Amino acid sequence: MFKVGGGTSAPGLYALKIDPNLVEKLVKQVPINIIITGTNGKTTTARLLAHFAIRFGLKVIRNSAGSNLERGIASTLISHSSLLTLNSELSKFDLGIWELDEAAFNQLAPVIKPDKIVFLNIHRDQLDRYGEINSVLDRWQSTLKKLKPKTKLIINGDDHNLSKLTEGFNGKINRFGLEEGKISGEFTDKNIKPAKLDIVAKNIQLLGLTGSKFDLFTATHPSYGGHSSQLTAHLPLPGFYHIYDFLAAFSAGLTLKIPANIMTDSLTQFIPAFGRVEKLSLKNNKEGFIFLIKNPVGATQVFQTLSSELTAQDSLLIALNDNLADGTDVSWIWDSLFEEFKIKNLKFKIIVSGTRALDLALRLKYAGFETKQIQIEPSLERALQTSQTALNGRLFILPTYTALLELQAQLTKQGIKPLHWSKLR
């Protein structure tokens, strides 16, 4: 058990059995708390915001190594506390950044009593756990009514479904979005009029796997000092979806009075979390890249990003698991546009792996790939070894969540990277 997840949330799990109110008792000692939630991008956004805050000189605590459930938050808090006396060093932190699962948000937001909440997006994700989008939104909206009036919302203004959260909300709301390349979300009500954005990314240039470049425009919003500004950002993460993660973190940073130029300038030192566009040095000096996939919208965005990069010499390793943490319903692969890889009709090699490798192979066949292109290897260990054999170009690894954790162990076993669980998030 501990080899798969590092056991990082186990202390919190046992501590909560001793004191179910532990998180509420401890988290209130942190001066400012920010919650980040949504379907896609939570980990990268939390990591970006923490990066900005630390560069500004703030002392940050966050659930960087644990889960985004209550036990992960508890584990992080007790690592700086005495469980028996509740004496802690938590008041020495300036900021708590808490990444929360979509469902855990409803349980933990009233407990954490956040000063700010970042809502990234709402897409279909693990239907066996969350239900449909409207169900998630209804629960979020009910939870917001339980929070203190001074709570500030930072919302992706391009995802019109999130506008429902602002109905009846009397606190301050900041919205961010893109001028072009918008990811507006699913099942959008066409009658919803887009709200004015407070921060906009314009003149976007996608630079392949090296990232993107764009201009930032901030409105004259009181949260941003009451004045507008413009500057250019060079984000070392590819794709439109990562620009949203940056905008969310940037927006939250401005509300914390972190100067815009400190955030944009610090991007040159930013290192993504494990599995989130991480670059690897494989055997025989070949390059590898890891992109986590876990739902239709997120996976399709990854496919679109890679479609312009793939060559006939490259290989894909896609690993699909159906463990509880992945979501036991894998029907989402039929809504993910694997067809994006067919744009150039290249005959690159595809290895499918994981507990549902056969389902994945069938999906690729229906996407138009030739069966001779597809190699089925349920064992991720053997798949990783096979994918590096006779590799002429680059290897792109696309795992679901528990496959990502197993991949970390296999990469360590092969000596490709060190074992360091805090990089998982």
**Domain limits for position 371:** 276-424
The CATH number linked to 323 is 3.90.190.20
Do 333 and 357 lie in a common domain?
yes
Q: What pLDDT, on the 0 to 100 scale, is given for residue 30?
A: 95
Question: What are the mean pLDDT values of the chain's consecutive 10-residue runs (425 residues total)?
Answer: 49 77 91 95 95 97 82 87 67 95 92 96 64 83 90 94 85 92 68 82 94 88 58 94 97 96 95 83 88 90 90 94 89 92 76 97 93 94 91 94 91 77 43
Residue 194 has phi, psi (to 5 degrees) of: -60, 135
Domain shared by 300 and 244, yes or no: no
Kindly state whether residue 241 falls inside one of the protein's structural domains.
Answer: yes
DSSP assignment of 139-153 equals HHHHHHTTS-TTPEE
Question: For residues 403 and 380, is the Cβ–Cβ distance under 8 A?
Answer: yes
Q: Are residues 253 and 304 in the same domain?
A: no
Q: Within 10 A of 133 (CB to CB), how many other CB atoms are there?
A: 18
- Using CB atoms within 10 A of its CB, is residue 38 exposed (0-12), middle (13-18) or buried (19+)? buried
284 and 360 part of one domain: yes
149 with 255, same domain: the answer is yes
202: in domain? no
Q: In the prediction, which pLDDT does 400 show?
A: 95
**Whole-prediction pTM:** 0.89
Domain count, the chain: 2
CA angle 26, 28, 30 (to 5 degrees): 90
- Claim to verify: residue 290 and residue 404 sit in the same structural domain: yes
Check if the beta carbon of residue 376 is closer than 8 Å to that of residue 358. yes
